[in-house]
């Protein structure tokens, strides 16, 4: 199982960002804890903010929606930081955070899907479906693998990369390009994780 252990030490872009900005996150997290906000409140605030952003997307106001979604991004890191500083970080907290992240992504894609459906943009509808499917599968494959003892973080388009692609393209009103990139590479990432779990399973049988 040595190779599997080494594999678990690989960090995603999200992990690296949290390490780089750890000092800033700790400072902001301490301040938010000090004024009485809780990690769960920040998690829900992020979901609400993304939902508001999705409403603007559904109305075709991509730039405004994109700005709101961009502003909600740091909250994903702050809720975990706040919990750690409070000594409250737990598996259940991580579970809630992960589930909320999936809801946030899906509500954003839902806003885009509504817009393309009402404007009759068939290509947009197809791309949003593929992007949403790929994004969910990337997370599901890791979660399912973990439940069987095989963790996988590999892939070219994890959540942070998807966020860094989608938000700017929304703001620049070229969201179809962002959705296209996610539709292609999120599904490639899903297959990368499938093959990585398969590799770990084969490695485990050999040992």
Q: What pLDDT digit, counting tens, does each position of 67-76 carry?
A: 999 999 887 7
pLDDT surpasses 60 at 1: no
The superfamily (CATH) of domain 2-206 is CDP-alcohol phosphotransferase transmembrane (TM) domain (1.20.120.1760)
Q: What pLDDT digit, counting tens, does each position of 46-89 carry?
A: 999 999 999 999 999 999 999 999 999 887 778 778 887 877 76
Q: What pLDDT digit, counting tens, does each position of 8-34 carry?
A: 445 666 666 667 767 787 888 888 888
Domain boundaries, the chain: 2-206
DSSP the chain: -HHHHHHHT---HHHHHHHHTHHHHHHHHHHHHHTT--HHHHHHHHHHHHHHHHHHHHTT-HHHHHHHHHHHHHHHHHHHHHHHHHT---HHHHHHHHHHHHHHHHHHHHHHHHHHHHTT-HHHHHHHHHHHHHHHHHHHHHHHHHHTT------S--HHHHHHHHHHHHHTT-HHHHHHHHHHHHHHHHHHHHHHHHHHHHHHHH-
């Amino acid at each position: 199982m040595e190779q599997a252990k080494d594999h678990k030490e690989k960090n995603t872009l999200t992990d690296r960002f949290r390490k780089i900005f750890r000092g800033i996150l700790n400072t902001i997290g301490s301040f938010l804890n000090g004024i009485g906000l809780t990690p769960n409140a920040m998690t829900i605030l992020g979901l609400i903010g993304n939902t508001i952003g999705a409403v603007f997307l559904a109305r075709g106001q991509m730039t405004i929606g994109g700005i709101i979604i961009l502003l909600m991004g740091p909250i994903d890191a702050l809720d975990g930081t706040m919990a750690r500083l409070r000594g409250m970080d737990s598996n259940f907290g991580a579970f809630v955070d992960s589930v909320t992240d999936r809801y946030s992504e899906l509500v954003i894609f839902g806003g885009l899907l509504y817009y393309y459906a009402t404007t009759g943009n068939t290509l947009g509808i197809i791309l949003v479906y593929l992007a949403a499917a790929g994004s969910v599968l990337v997370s599901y494959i890791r979660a399912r693998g973990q439940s069987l003892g095989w963790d996988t973080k590999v892939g070219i388009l994890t959540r942070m990369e998807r966020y860094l692609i989608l938000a700017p393209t929304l703001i620049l009103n070229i969201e179809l390009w962002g959705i296209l990139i996610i539709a292609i590479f999120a599904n490639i990432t899903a297959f990368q994780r499938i093959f990585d779990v398969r590799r770990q399973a084969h490695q485990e049988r050999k040992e």
